Structure 1
Amino acid sequence: MAIRTIEVDDEVFAFLQQHCEPLVDTPNDVLRRLLLSGGSEEPQEKTVPTRKRLLRRPGALLPLINAGLLAPGDVLRHKQPRRGMVHEVTVTPRGWLKLADGRSFSTPSRALAEQTGTTINGWTYVHVPSGKQLYVLRHQVERS
């Protein structure tokens, strides 16, 4: 397979960054997924998965699911009282966090950064069914 070099402007590069999984996807992976496989962004969620989706790593929440502290479909919530905003995500079976717009992220911090527009510790999401923050649940798994 030949490797070609292309140049993209800042706006296109920012678009690629918004649709990639950091330290996993290359720009080529993002373009291939968006242009050649129907534009879907949901890893492990399609009924006919592509090879790339099968190779995707589990999300950061999978150990919490395996420990029985989270379940697929559980809602996580983060409140920003000063802004009067509430952000919610849903836990996927592979331990990813799915936003209401369908985008999925493997880590809580990346998902929350997308929702708030700023870098923020996503382990502060509250697990709605238990009322506990993710970092508390993570410490429970680490201690066992």
Structure 2
Amino acid sequence: MTQPNRTILIDDEVFAFLQRHSEPLVDSPNDVLRRLLLGGAQPADPAGSRSTGALMPFIEAGLIAPGDALHHTQVRLKATHTARVTADGWIEIPDGRAFRLPSPALKAQVGYDVNGWGQYVHTESGRPLQSMRKQLGL
């Protein structure tokens, strides 16, 4: 069962705030609110009706396969954060939360804003997601 869309009215100052905290041409106002208020996590969708994740074009191009691992290493902290790519192109972190985009997923792991495209590495190929993204012209 899909949830109905809700309409809320916001003033210009709040809208400007949402724009400052969005990734241009990627985030909707709802994405920004979800990231800021709920840590970016998407609700589990047992019906399978969620939208495709940002990594779906990589899967379709054969650069990434469902189940492949992503990792980010914090050298100074000697910490490595891992994630898995789902069949619908989402990024799932070890605590079970899934994210449509890499940056909110990595932020949930490291605790601060970070460019997931530039910092996550596709473990199987050793390539940063950003490198693959450029290859696809995205």
1:130 maps onto 2:132 in alignment? no
Relative to the length of structure 1, the TM-score reads 0.65
Gaps in structure 1 of 5+ consecutive residues: 4-20, 28-39
Question: Distance in 2 between the 1:99 and 1:78 partners?
Answer: 12
* Alpha-carbon separation, structure 1, partners of 2:126 and 2:33: 37
CA RMSD of aligned residues (A): 2.9
Look up the match of 2:67.
Answer: 73
Using CA pairs below 8 Å that are at least 6 residues apart, which structure has the higher relative contact order? 2
Name the residue aligned to 1:84: 78
Structure 2 unaligned residues grouped into runs of 5+: 1-5, 7-27, 35-41
Poorly superposed stretches of 4+, deviation over 6 Å: none
Q: Does 1:120 align with 2:127?
A: no
Give 3-state SS (helix, strand or coil) of 1:23's partner: helix
Q: Distance in 2 between matches of 1:125 and 1:137?
A: 11
> Relative to structure 1, is the Cα distance of residues 110 and 26 closer, same or farther in structure 2, using a 3 angstrom cutoff?
closer
Larger Rg computed on CA atoms: 1
SS at the partner of 2:108?
helix
Q: Kindly provide the CA deviation profile for residues 46-101 of structure 1, in whole angstroms up to 9, marking residues without a partner as x.
A: 3xx1xxx51x2211111111110001000000000111110000000111000111
**Structure 1's 82 and 60: CA in aligned 2 closer, same or farther, altered over 3 A?**
same
Give the length in aligned residue pairs: 106
User: Once the two structures are aligned, what percentage of the paired residues are identical?
Assistant: 42
Length-normalised TM-score, structure 2? 0.68
Q: What is the CA distance between 1:24 and its match in structure 2?
A: 5.0
